[in-house]
Structure 1
């Protein structure tokens, strides 16, 4: 299996969490049933404390840093695991910030009017946390409230045809802009992890697959492609590390966090696009097989790239931010 995460500067807690996540998500690929949450796998992740990692300790969470709390999210993204883990981590962070108890079951997060917005794995969620300016609402939709749909990767992206009355409302000391940034951060982290997984999958394949009496990795053209992939993966991983570090300083220097989000979103989206294309080039036909792990991984990369604001949207926001200074 592929080792996902940072190679340098890891703290002990992050390494322990990542090792635990490697074990939890070491089972068979979840892509075959991607539209639905695997209840057994979710229970394992929940038992490990992944979903409450970012929530404050006085509200039932673990109070971990951004880098530590998103370590399991990175592993799950690299494995192609079909769980709304990152969304639930953020939902519980928001609930605890609003002084509410955390949720043990899977949750979603939306900003603004929830009607019609795609929600990852909506049909299987216990709650949807809706954020407006200065307010937070907790919705508990029923099966009849959802319009079912799936994205390119086969994952559920349901939307609310009927918005139920809020079960709970509370004041939220987090701006909607910061929540939008956190959702974009999640997709950047997932893209970076998947990009690295695609690289390591390609390295393994090229080192073992032989053509004309030697491994593919011995051909100069392949070496060049792998080198470019490695550079893309390195820069994407650094961008993800940067935005997670900035997340922990969001209350004191929010502008730095939002700038880091924009940079990470642009850089990881570019890297995911290029790495996915190169990975399929070096794999050839087998990479497009539905049974081969690269295929569901790259489809998720393409979907994550366009969610929570596209590369173009965040590039424009970054430019506007820099020009306003």
Structure 2
């Protein structure tokens, strides 16, 4: 799908770690062009390049560095806004943008479980965008809010989707090993994380997100309402001294037990639905299965397909459940900014925006 001109977009909370990823990934995007960046009160009225403590290896894109930071409370005339706002700010401000006609693609958790808001992974549940018209009608909004899941949830659910469709996931246990970049900047103190791991994530709600969000993602939209998939999930989260890349060690019980070779074939053959495959940010294959006994590894596998790929390895039988595997994806790209950008691309491709 080619576009004659790029759509102007806003990045809300652009100076933070995820906001910077949005800026980086949108800098050369074929469909979108950053027209507005917003930030905190201390940043408003100053140039983005002057107030941002840039933590990514590439330089700040020149076209964005010169933009004046706007207050998030001031809704801009753009069709799409990418939100990297903290949860409480998102809860207060994202509806203002949606009410004014902007489609907010949010990385925040504030509205993920809202019964009128799609929690979206385009390869997994693109049909959930069917709730948008009801959201607009009942909330009185000209725009809408579309959310992407928790970064660790994405790592888990992408390989679960084809396995669930083929064999029927019933219950699972997952332990995550989550990178320090997931804590934002300045994140976890070095004296806490170096030579160490922390068996918790700071906000205390990470496990609850991983235990609830997959049910919505793998559920169905029936007569304008979400019906959650009946999955039993037990999650344990840990913070580990890795810069980028969340890893999930998963054990799954199915309605029909697959042999490891069957599961591997299922994962390798799975492709995104047709409308999603041609989106600019979509990976060529949602999942890549590695045969080596020591993969995936964050340093080697997190940048697959520009950080939008998910790598699975160690697919094997489980003595307590049916199947075990390890999954990995890039938490600030696939699990955050890149995932929200892919959501926006689907909105455009389906004619909802643009």
More strand by share: 2
TM-score norm. by structure 2 comes to 0.21
More helix by share: 1
TM-score norm. by structure 1 comes to 0.22
